[in-house]
Each structure stands twice: as C-alpha cells, then as structure tokens.
Structure 1
C-alpha cells in the first residue's frame, strides 16, 4: 500500500465503505460512497481497489457501475478487511528498530517478536467481529 497516510486510516476508511455498501441496495457508485464518507473519490477508489483484490467486494465498471459486497455482512470479518488492507504489520514504523544500532540484536529480535505477537492479538480480536456487528440495528 502506498504511503498516503497511516495504515489505520486506510483500514478505518475501508470499514466505513463496507458499512455503507452493506446498508446500500444494489451497486453503489464510488462518487456516492465518497460523498457519504466525506472523502476524496481518488483516495476512496484506491481503498476500494484493495477490497476488490481481497475478494470482499465486486466492481462493475461503466455508466451504471459501482461496488457491492460479495459476502453477507454477517460473514465478513474485520480480520478479512485488515488482511485486504494491510501492506505491513501495524502502522508504518510501529516498533521499527531495524536501523537502530543502539539495541543489541537480541533486543531488536525481542521487539520484533513483540510486534508480531501484538499483531496476532489484533487479528484474533478482529476475527470475532463482522461488518454486521457495526451496522446500526433498525427498530
């Protein structure tokens, strides 16, 4: 993923886009998505491209085109969204000690192990939630 902001910003915008798509009947054009999310269309289309490549949404091009979910929101875990959006573990630079010569190799290794363990905790938690869990319950 290109460095257009933090990985968490991309993940958050992806979640919001999926919530809008889950609550939308039929195809939703990227312009309408961008308007609802108060986002720039170009930025949003980059996120949507990752979601398409990740197999979470489908895109139909053309005049009557747009985006729609492939899965039921109850079957779409937040871990799947995280995996589709991530380019590297956690936000860029999180526990980045690779170039810090002030730490001995065992300390750097321990920090990398901690980073990987923390990401595992995050993914395990995200597996417990779905897009449906984030939708407003209609009365």
Structure 2
C-alpha cells in the first residue's frame, strides 16, 4: 500500500463525506469550498482527495478554475472502493494486539489473529454491498 494513504477510519469518513458533497455539487468543486463545507483543513483534505483521484473515484482539474468532481456515477462507487483507496492497514489492526507474548497461550493468540482477519472480511463484505448512491438515497 502507498505510504500516502491514510489508515484512520476518521479519514475514511471524511472521504465518504467529500463524495456526498461532490455528488450534490454543481460543477467542479475547489478543495477550499469542500474543506469549508466539511470543516476540514484544505491541505489535509487534498491528500484524502488525492487518494480518491488515484483510485479513479474522483477526477481533478488543475488551475485557477480547478477542483474535484466525481469520476463515476454515485451508484457505481462501491463503499469498499473508497475504503480500499484510503487504508494502509486493516480496519481491525491493533484492535486485539497483545503487548506481551506471554499474556496468552499461542493457541489463543492464533484465535485472536483469526478473529481480526474475520472482522476485516465482514467489513469488506458489508462495504461491497453499498454504494455512494445508496447513501444519497438513504439521507
């Protein structure tokens, strides 16, 4: 995964919110307008948006009249695509980390690792079943 990707679920949420705002925006939205609407810092939001551009979810136009716009119809943007564009580590990584190896027997540690992997598969499966368009209809 790219070092520029954000691992925090907070930024996954920011990416989703950006997509919802862009879906309602008429034309090309400058990052400053998005940042103001979302209450985010422009410089950091541009990093988030950059990952969405790299993933083909957004398009960007540079220059004085530049900004961002959806590269696809909202019904074609699966939430799992956004998740994958934003993450470096599985969502559940760190959730069940054990600081001392002596804390649990090896079998218990293995069981915890399998649970983390299973949690990640639940998340991916759930996100693959919803689109940005679904979120727009659900509001």
Offset, 1:100:
2.5
Matching residue of 1:80 = 81
Counterpart in 2 of 1:123? 124
Deviations 1:46-98 (A, max 9, x none): 1111111111111111111100111100110111111111110016522223x
Please identify runs of 4+ aligned residues in structure 1 that moved more than 6 A. none
Question: Partners of 2:5 and 2:100 in 1: how far apart?
Answer: 22
Aligned length: 136
Report the Cα distance in structure 1 between the residues aligned to 2:47 and 2:119, rounded to whole angstroms: 27
Given that residues 7 and 91 in structure 1 are in contact (C-alpha distance below 8 angstroms), is that contact kept between their aligned partners in structure 2? no
Q: d(CA) in 1 for partners of 2:62 and 2:4?
A: 24
User: What is the aligned partner in structure 2 of residue 13 from structure 1?
Assistant: 14
TM-score, normalised to structure 2's length?
0.87
Name the residue aligned to 1:51: 52
User: What value does the CA root-mean-square deviation take over the aligned residues?
Assistant: 2.2
Q: Which residue of 2 aligns with 1:100?
A: 100
Instruction: State the partner residue of 2:71.
Output: 70
8 Å CA contact 1:79–1:127 kept in 2: the answer is: yes
Inter-CA distance 2–108: structure 2 relative to 1 (3 Å threshold): farther
On the 8 A contact 1:19/1:131 being kept in 2, the answer is yes
Uncovered stretches (5+) of structure 1, i.e. residues with no partner? none
TM-score (norm 1): 0.87
SS at match of 1:135: helix
